[in-house]
Each structure stands twice: as C-alpha cells, then as structure tokens.
Amino acid sequence: MTSAMSQRALHQAAGQGLRLLAADERCREAFTTPGSVLQDVLSPAARRYVLAPGRDEFLGHLQTLRAKSYRIAVEFVGEENSDPAEIERVVDEYLAVLEHDPEPAQLGFDLSNLGLTVSRELAVKNTARITEAAAVRGSEVVLSMERAPAVDAVLDAYRELAADHPNLGVTLQAYLHRTAQDLDSLPLEGRKVRLVKGAFNESTANALGRGPALDQRYLELAAELARRGARVSLATQDATVLAEAKERGLLERVTEIEMLHGVRPDLLRTYREAGYACRIYATYGENWWLHLLHRLAEHPPMVLTALADIAERHHDRGHTVGAGY
C-alpha cells in the first residue's frame, strides 16, 4: 500500500511539473521562435498525440481510426492566440474541415484560440460562425475549458450562444470547486457535456489536486449531469475512475467514453471491445507545445515513451496511425 501511494504521489508531482513547464512563458516563447530547436527536438514525441501538422494528412488518418469503429472529435490545436490574422486563419481552418466528406461529427476548440484574448465579443462571433456551419453539416461543437480566470468568459459565451445553437456543448472541469454550483446556471438538457478532471495548475483555493477526492467528485458530477439530462462524455484516461464508473453502473448512463489521442489507446480499446461507445479526441496543427505537455501530465509515465519516440527518429521509425487502438 505504501509503495502504491508513493508511486501515485510521484506521478502527481511529475504531472504538476509538466503543467508548470507548459505554462512557462520562456519555454513557450522558445517554442514559437522561428527555427525553434525545442520544436524540432520534441516533434517526434508530439506526433504521438498530434496526428499531423496539416489538414489533408490529418483527415486521411481519421479514416484509419473511424474504420476501427471509434467516434472522432477534431481540434486544430492552439490556444491563447492574440494575432487577428492568425485568429481568422483558425476560423477558416475549422470551416474548411467542415467541408470535408465525411464531415467531422464533433469539433472542439479553446475560445482563446478564436479571439478571447482580444475580446469576448470576437470569440463569441467566431464561435457562432463555426457552430452555424457545423449545424448545416449535422455536426456538434463542444467548447473546451481553460484556466480558472477564463472560466466565467467561457461559460457566459456558452449560455449566450446555446439558445440559438442546439448543437453547442461545453466542457466542465471536475477539479474546480465551483463546478457543482455552475450546473444550476447552464443549459444541460440534451447537451453534450465533456467532463474532464482539469489540466491546469490551480491553487487549492480554486481546485482539488489529483487523488481519491477528485476521483469521487468526478464520478459524482458525472452522475449528476446524467440525472439532469446531459449527454455526458466521460473524458478521462484514468483506469481506476473508469472501473469505478462501471462498478456503479454509470457507464450505462453516459453517452460515451472519450480519450485524447495517443494517451491510453490500449485502455480505450478495452472499453470499445466491451461494447461501449468510445470517442478519440484527435488534434492536428503545429502549435502543440501546451498540448504535448498536458498530455504527458495526464499520465506521467508517458514521459519515458516520449523519450523513446525521440530516439526512434534517429532510427527512421515513425508512428503507425491507429497502433494500439
């Protein structure tokens, strides 16, 4: 027991360290510098989680995953974008993806990638553009969640747009102390709600740390969302939480299990083979610094896999799309 607890504590500390690196402005600036050594060195590790740098290659890879009977969510990776031209390019990218056949059944994005760092109005306008185009194609949009200071802006945008956009859903973070109270003010009936634990470093005043208390809160929130009529996506890679959800009969009440591409493909495959609806959250693009570090933080032992991925490049061996799924 002591050894298991020590291992869990080590993983929690490693996850916190990875999240601190993800948020470090010096690292992020070094990553975005033209000719970045950091980007070049880490790119083999990123390709495990980011399917492709460009749209055409990415869409081709999705066919492989769909053929294995997975549902797919699509994100053009990026966040905290304040360049007006780049913001418009991101919107255009989502609109272009929606023109593809077959169309993506679900899109996801951070409002900070669509203009929230410039103004709330710009982010709402751009979200409406994408959500309306998605509705024409029969697709859903599920807003991602961001750091604690941006939560109010994201939830306000969701409330404002939800009445006119029935295909709009939202992500909620179980670790935030406020989330249980937020349920009372959000449109939930019939809406897709992605429930995640939470990926950012937050103070104890705002959030629970990783551990059994957060696991229990996650399961309780999932049950409450299902009770309120939300179409719940259990977005977690935590095998212990999923096993407990199964034990409680919760997997029969939620819409699906969702995992981020590349994190625990073997675990997701186990549930798919057991007959549960499973979704892969798949990303593409080149602005992947935060995405990579957060994925490693989700399951810190994957740092060893990342180092192995970097070594593989020197042997001219890359990833096989769909491996493990």
Q: Are 237 and 260 in contact (CB under 8 A)?
A: yes
The three-point CA angle 68-168-250 to 5° equals 60
Check whether 325 has a pLDDT greater than 60. Answer: yes
Residue of 191 and 9 predicted with greater confidence:
191
Distances (CA, A) of 74 to 99, 140, 190, 279: 13, 10, 21, 10
pLDDT of residue 57: 94
Grade residue 318 by pLDDT with cuts at 50, 70 and 90. Answer: low
Structure token pair of residue 42? 């880490």
Q: What are phi and psi of 112, to 5 degrees?
A: -70, -15
Q: Are 48 and 306 in contact (CB under 8 A)?
A: yes
Amino acid residing at 214? L
- Other C-beta atoms within 10 Å of 243: how many? 11
Per residue in 220-232, pLDDT (tens digit) is 999 999 999 999 9
Per residue in 78-94, pLDDT (tens digit) is 877 889 999 999 999 99
Rounded Cα–Cα distance for residues 202 and 195 (Å): 17
Rounded Cα–Cα distance for residues 89 and 55 (Å): 13
SS3 94: helix
Per residue in 289-313, pLDDT (tens digit) is 988 998 888 788 889 999 999 998 7
Rounded Cα–Cα distance for residues 266 and 256 (Å): 16
How far out from the chain centre does Cα 69 lie?
A: 20
Grade residue 317 by pLDDT with cuts at 50, 70 and 90. Answer: low
Among 251, 253, 242, CA closest to 276: 251
Which of 6-10, 23-27, 98-102, 126-130 shows the highest mean pLDDT? 126-130
- Mean model confidence pLDDT for the chain: 92
SS3 217: helix
Grade residue 1 by pLDDT with cuts at 50, 70 and 90. Answer: very low
User: Which residues does 135 contact at the CB level (< 8 Å), separation at least 6?
Assistant: 165, 166, 167
Rounded Cα–Cα distance for residues 264 and 261 (Å): 8
pLDDT of residue 3: 61
Among 121, 120, 132, 127, CA closest to 167: 132
Q: What is the dihedral of CA 17, 18, 23, 25, to 10 degrees?
A: 90
